[in-house]
Structure 1
Amino acid sequence: MSSNLITVASPPEDAISALKFSPNPDSTRIVVSSWDKNVYLYDLRDENGAVGEGKLLQKFEHRAPVLDVCFGENENEIYTAGLDWDVRKIDTNTGEQTVLSSHEAGVRNVVYSPEYKLVISGSWDSTLHVHRPEAGTNTEYIPAVIPLPSKPFSLSITPTKLVVAMASRSFYIYDLKSLALLTAQADGASTDGNKVEIEPWQRRESSLKFMTRCVACMPDDAGYACSSIEGRVAVEWFDPSPESQARKYAFKFHRQTTEDDVDIVYPVNALAFHPVYGTFASGGGDGVVAIWDGISRRRIRLYHKHESSVAALAFSGNGNYLAIGVSPGFEDGKDDMAEGVVKIYVRQLGETEAKRKSAK
């Protein structure tokens, strides 16, 4: 069975910053954040339950461009981060927006840990805010604030760990159990007392020589992949043993060679792991999406080139769909955006399309 490409109706009017599928494996809901100051909630299924271009269910306006979004414990709970400096919770049943905390600069990322029921945000003020959403209704509640050595560019989470990719090619890996204990102790702290020092479980330097663009964790909690602005992807494992660290590697892709034999290098903007097979997809400024087997170090699929940069990728909870956010990345140096160039595509995957060749 080959994949089918669906074009989602009513896309954002400005560049896409992030998109995520519902945590419910059987759901076809997608949430999308955009530079047009809105968050969009879609469902690929129509009133009859058929999967197609879907419908826009709700749109939630913010005060400034929204840089990241994720679902919470269920698909009725959404968390957002943006240039208004706020971390917000949206109740999709009522449309109510609640500010969980405010950073001192734009908030680049937000992730949710279902195992520990934590919302973690990373801001250009070089801090993490660690929230317990159930305590957020208490106006006295203040999240734990963890200082970072530099600006965070990307966050990713596993059942036990948080990976923070920062400027200066620095990576911090935190133990989520420690963060959960930390936030419990920080409850009721004063405004001056909510900054806490916690040692990361590991400190690392990126294997890639240029600025980190994205990090994504393996679903089996074994490691992560990260990408750079210079068309490269690195695959690494958490296990600090020499044997495990010897397995890490990097490769280059998302490049085009001109007729003059000159390499044009594009940033790798997006990475996403398949929740079942553990393979991963990459998307670049060249408009190309590929699927990789990180274990055997080979490419499984190469899809056709999209009309613009791939800004975001996400697999559905059951792995049957791959959502692709396409919008200009301004790699050509032009900062104007033509009407209708922002697209959301969803690839309905064949049974073995993202499966490792060696997997039975």
Structure 2
Amino acid sequence: MALFSTQASSQPSNTLGDLAKDVALENPPEDSISDLAFNTGQNDPKDLLAVASWDKKVRIYEITSNGQGIGKAMIEHDGPVFSVDFFKDGTKVISAGADKQGKVLDLNTGQTMQFAAHEQPIKSVRYCEIQGGQHAVTGSWDKTIRYWDFRQQAPIATVQCQERVYTMDVKDNLLVVGTADRYINIINLASDPTKFYKTIQSPLKWQTRVVSCFIDSTGFAIGSIEGRCAIQYVEDKDNASNFSFKCHRDPTQNNITNVYAVNDISFHPVHGTFSTAGSDGTFHFWDKDAKHRLKGYPNVGGSITATKFNKNGSIFAYAISYDWSKGYQANTTNYPTKVMLHPVQADECKPRPSTKKPR
């Protein structure tokens, strides 16, 4: 059921966002961008942005106060890099990709080492803490997720999934794994990281593209290739709070609606509102609790393949690059490949004031 929609015709004009102050990162990747990650350590005054690319590299930039990015470090892989994440304390960066390897870069020493391996490409890697220890979890097309302790070479545990892992996210003790055939596996890292706490099939009818955990870890959002997003709570027993809505679709003309993949979903670290971004080249900010679109933005000139907020939510980074949604014919030499930094204004991501009267 579509409880809110991105179609501009149904929205008042004040929901249209402004891109005028967005700044492009200098020296961007040379091929499509697959993932973005900001450091989240509250004790680190710097904003570091890691950018994973099909050009087999992860680039780490320091974002300066004027919005420019200075190259600080790099991780090199033997194939396209699909996923990147920071340690919670911001001291290390982990990455993984088509070369079936996971790598970790120590930003203090500049040293890179391999810490993970799978039988097939690794689609997703996330930092996680298990019993207070620093670990990583990797999800692969070999239909497994594996947990890694950086002090040893073999995985400390392997969990068999129903299908290839397409997407994964971690928040506190919540791990959500999205696979082919629309399976969504929920794991409680505190109780038993090796067991599925709950398994559902996505309420969306088509392939899962992304899962993203709420900042309070009570649930997660799902984005799919058919221009829909679903909001799911882990403990919603009667499904009263779960819902889905249409987004990233053109207004219907002559009974035809162009539908675009939702490529990424990011939650604002302070307000708990979230963004969706898609193959239509637009991004939008939403309030899941009020079921309301806060802002929608004009087309940026190419597919948006990855997004991320920085640790205090003042910067929204989005990557523009080809996502293969229209086949090889549309991958032209002049297609843009860049990372944009959007300064988040005070009213853009704040939740909508509640209209409910107190009891």
Into which bin does the TM-score normalised by the smaller protein fall? Answer: 0.7 to 0.9
- Cα distance 1:359–1:347, how it changes in 2: closer, same or farther (>3 A)? farther
CA deviations on 1:64-121 (whole Å, 9 max, x unpaired) are 1100000013333011111110111111233322111210000000011246522100
- Farther off after superposition, 167-176 or 57-66: 57-66
CA distance in 2, matches of 1:355, 1:307: 26
Give the superposition deviation at 1:261. Answer: 4.7
Opposite residue 232 of structure 1, the aligned amino acid is R
CA distance in 2, matches of 1:235, 1:33: 27
TM-score, L = length of structure 1: 0.88
Give the superposition deviation at 1:332. Answer: 3.1
CA distance in 1, matches of 2:49, 2:255: 41
CA distance in 1, matches of 2:338, 2:276: 17
- Per the alignment, residue 267 of structure 2 pairs with 273
Give the superposition deviation at 1:199. Answer: 2.8
What does residue range 240-255 of structure 1 map to in structure 2 within 5 Å? 240-242=236-238, 245-255=239-249
- Farther off after superposition, 202-211 or 115-124: 115-124
Give the superposition deviation at 1:351. Answer: 1.8
Residue 331 in structure 1 maps to residue 325 in structure 2:
yes
Residue 171 in structure 1 maps to residue 184 in structure 2:
yes
CA distance in 2, matches of 1:29, 1:350: 20
- Per the alignment, residue 36 of structure 1 pairs with 55
CA distance in 2, matches of 1:58, 1:213: 29
Residue 21 in structure 1 maps to residue 38 in structure 2:
yes
CA deviations on 1:249-288 (whole Å, 9 max, x unpaired) are 1111111247545211110000000111110000000000
Partner SS for 1:219: coil
Give the superposition deviation at 1:336. Answer: 3.1
Count of matched residue positions in the alignment of Structure 1 and Structure 2: 333
Partner SS for 1:52: coil
Contact 2:94-2:105 at 8 Å conserved across structures? yes
- Per the alignment, residue 5 of structure 2 pairs with none
CA distance in 2, matches of 1:253, 1:284: 9
- Per the alignment, residue 201 of structure 1 pairs with 197
- Cα distance 1:42–1:6, how it changes in 2: closer, same or farther (>3 A)? same
CA distance in 1, matches of 2:171, 2:51: 21
Partner SS for 1:256: coil
Contact 2:236-2:242 at 8 Å conserved across structures? no
- Per the alignment, residue 13 of structure 2 pairs with none
Contact 1:172-1:203 at 8 Å conserved across structures? yes
- Per the alignment, residue 349 of structure 1 pairs with 344
2:277 aligned to 274, 277, 283, which one? 283
2:303 aligned to 302, 305, 309, which one? 309
2:353 aligned to 344, 351, 358, which one? 358
Opposite residue 350 of structure 1, the aligned amino acid is Q
What does residue range 1-360 of structure 1 map to in structure 2 within 5 Å? 4-25=21-42, 26-45=45-64, 50-114=65-129, 116-133=133-150, 135-136=151-152, 141-179=154-192, 198-242=194-238, 245-257=239-251, 260-333=254-327, 334=329, 336-339=331-334, 341-358=336-353
Unaligned runs of 5+ in 1: 181-197
Contact 1:210-1:229 at 8 Å conserved across structures? yes
- Farther off after superposition, 265-274 or 332-341: 332-341
CA distance in 2, matches of 1:151, 1:86: 16
- Cα distance 1:357–1:142, how it changes in 2: closer, same or farther (>3 A)? closer
CA deviations on 1:157-208 (whole Å, 9 max, x unpaired) are 121110011111111101102346xxxxxxxxxxxxxxxxx43111111110
Unaligned runs of 5+ in 2: 1-16
Contact 1:2-1:349 at 8 Å conserved across structures? no
Opposite residue 174 of structure 1, the aligned amino acid is I
Opposite residue 155 of structure 1, the aligned amino acid is M
CA distance in 2, matches of 1:13, 1:178: 42
Opposite residue 40 of structure 1, the aligned amino acid is R
- Cα distance 1:285–1:175, how it changes in 2: closer, same or farther (>3 A)? same
CA deviations on 1:312-349 (whole Å, 9 max, x unpaired) are 01011111111101101233332534257101011111
CA distance in 2, matches of 1:256, 1:335: 19
- Cα distance 1:276–1:292, how it changes in 2: closer, same or farther (>3 A)? same
CA distance in 1, matches of 2:221, 2:318: 18
Contact 1:116-1:177 at 8 Å conserved across structures? no
Contact 1:101-1:143 at 8 Å conserved across structures? no
Contact 1:175-1:201 at 8 Å conserved across structures? yes
Give the superposition deviation at 1:54. Answer: 1.9
Partner SS for 1:155: strand
Contact 2:292-2:352 at 8 Å conserved across structures? no
Partner SS for 2:348: coil
Identity %: 30
